[in-house]
Each structure stands twice: as structure tokens, then as C-alpha cells.
Amino acid sequence: MDSATTPPKSKLNRRSAKQWRAILRRFDKSDLNPADFCRQQKLSLPAFHRWRRKQLAETNAAGFVELQPPTVPSPPKGPWILELDLPGGGRLRIQSGL
């Protein structure tokens, strides 16, 4: 067969970020493990994991974590200080009215 009659090689099926978000939502609703889901959807498992890690990183970076005070039998008497050591050397300090 000469090159004029040879069918062109298929291009990689590149998906947009929007398409991957939809795919990952479908995965979250499925009862399948990643390998079975990718096999069923004809997806690349490494690409699936790459996009899932990216989504988790974005979710964690933009997420808000609400802190709830611990349940104590009675409120503390007198002033108190709560300090949290944060990654990178930061420190969060909360204190009651002294």
C-alpha cells in the first residue's frame, strides 16, 4: 500500500480539563475501582491518576477547613491560649480575652 492509500494514524484522544472533571464525577458516582472504570470507559489509567491527583490538589488548595472546638465538660476558667504550628514555620495563635 502506498502512502496515498494508507489511512492516517489516529490522533491521541486529548480531553479538556472540563471533560476530565466530568469523567472524575462519573467515577466518584460509580462503584468501580480506577482500573475497572478506565477499562470500561476506554481511558488511560496513568492519565486518569494524573488528572485525579490534580483535582485533589486543587480541591485541597482551595478548600476551607472548619475547626470545631473540642467538647469539654465545662468551659475553661480564666484566660486561655491555643497555638497551632503550621507547615513552613508559621504559627497560628488564638487567645481568649486576657
Mean local confidence (pLDDT), 16-23? 92
**pLDDT at 30 (0 to 100):** 93
Look up the pTM and report it: 0.50
DSSP per-residue letters across 20-83: HHHHHHHHHHSS--HHHHHHHHT--HHHHHHHHHHHHHHHHHH------PPP-SSPPPS--EEE
What is the rounded distance in angstroms from the CA atom of residue 78 to the CA atom of residue 28?
48
Classify residue 73 as exposed, middle or buried by CB count within 10 Å of its CB (0-12, 13-18, 19+).
exposed
**pLDDT at 89 (0 to 100):** 85
What is the rounded distance in angstroms from the CA atom of residue 20 to the CA atom of residue 48?
8
Mean pLDDT of the chain: 80
**pLDDT at 7 (0 to 100):** 45
Q: Which residue has the higher pLDDT, 14 or 42?
A: 42
